[in-house]
């Protein structure tokens, strides 16, 4: 899904008078929802074990918190793609890839979305490919329009495919739409003087370090 406030912000751009807009943000809403639910269930189970458990159970439960919570955050809440006129930022579970548009060779969606930049290939976790959604979009395209679905989930007719700029295209899967938008941004902005530079990759130590510390603590408590 996409998030953006659409308001111009001051900052470096191709010219002094050109506004810089907030990042477009793409992330998997089902992934975020599943992460919140997993954390809620884990908080209830671990809290119950810590408060009512006997023996080593409370200590094991508390030691397990970072081992469970940080990986869940990493793989469900953290992944996102942020794009503006200067660069593309891909937040994967354990790494962040920052690629100026001039360094982006291509984006493609096969069985997964991939970023090709500076001669390297990176997976884009925040934009999962749904083959089921792609097949459904292909069926809508073959029928020449978008099916209208009632509140009860019943198909009650067909409507012409919307052509409004920025509207969701029912004839393309969400991942394919995102890749198309990002590829267009890369082609449009690659020649900007402020869109050049090397691709940088940084590790997400605020996820990795607590998980490792928690794992060591959990093993120690269990073995004690």
Residue 68 pLDDT level (bands cut at 50, 70, 90) = very high
Read off the pLDDT of each residue in 11-32 and give the average, rounded to a whole number. 70
What pLDDT shows up at residue 199?
Answer: 97
123-137, 158-172, 188-202: segment of lowest average pLDDT: 158-172
Question: Where do we find the tokens 């940088």?
Answer: 200
Which of 90-94, 150-154, 159-163 shows the highest mean pLDDT? Answer: 90-94
| C-alpha to C-alpha distances, 205 to 76, 79, 105, 149, 191, nearest whole angstrom | 17, 15, 28, 45, 33
163-197 b/e (C-beta count within 10 Å ≥ 16 → b):
eeeeeebbbbbbbbbbbebbeebbeebeebebbee
Give the model confidence (pLDDT) of 96-146 as tens digits.
Answer: 999 999 999 999 999 999 999 999 999 999 999 988 888 888 888 778 754
Domain ranges of the chain: 2-130+173-223, 136-172
Read off the pLDDT of each residue in 83-104 and give the average, rounded to a whole number. 97
Of residues 141 and 208, more confidence is placed in: 208
Note the pTM of the prediction, 2 decimals: 0.79
Of residues 190 and 15, more confidence is placed in: 190
Of residues 45 and 141, more confidence is placed in: 45
What pLDDT shows up at residue 15?
Answer: 44
């Amino acid at each position: 899904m996409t998030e953006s406030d659409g308001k111009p912000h001051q900052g470096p751009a191709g010219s002094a008078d050109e506004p810089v807009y907030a990042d477009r943000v793409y992330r998997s809403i089902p992934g975020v929802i599943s992460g919140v639910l997993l954390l809620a269930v884990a908080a209830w189970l671990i809290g119950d074990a810590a408060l009512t458990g006997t023996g080593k159970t409370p200590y094991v439960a508390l030691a397990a918190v970072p081992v469970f919570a940080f990986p869940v955050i990493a793989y469900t809440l953290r992944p996102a793609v942020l794009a503006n006129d200067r660069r593309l930022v891909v937040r994967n579970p354990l790494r962040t890839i920052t690629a100026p548009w001039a360094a982006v060779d291509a984006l493609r969606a096969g069985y997964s979305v991939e970023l090709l930049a500076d001669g390297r290939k990176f997976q884009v976790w925040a934009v999962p490919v749904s083959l089921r959604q792609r097949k459904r979009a292909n069926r809508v395209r073959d029928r020449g329009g978008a099916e209208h679905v009632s509140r009860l989930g019943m198909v009650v007719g067909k409507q012409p495919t919307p052509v409004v700029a920025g509207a969701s295209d029912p004839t393309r899967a969400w991942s394919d739409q995102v890749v198309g938008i990002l590829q267009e941004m890369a082609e449009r902005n690659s020649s900007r003087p402020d869109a050049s530079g090397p691709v940088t990759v940084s590790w997400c130590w605020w996820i990795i370090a607590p998980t490792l510390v928690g794992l060591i603590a959990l093993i120690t408590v269990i073995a004690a």
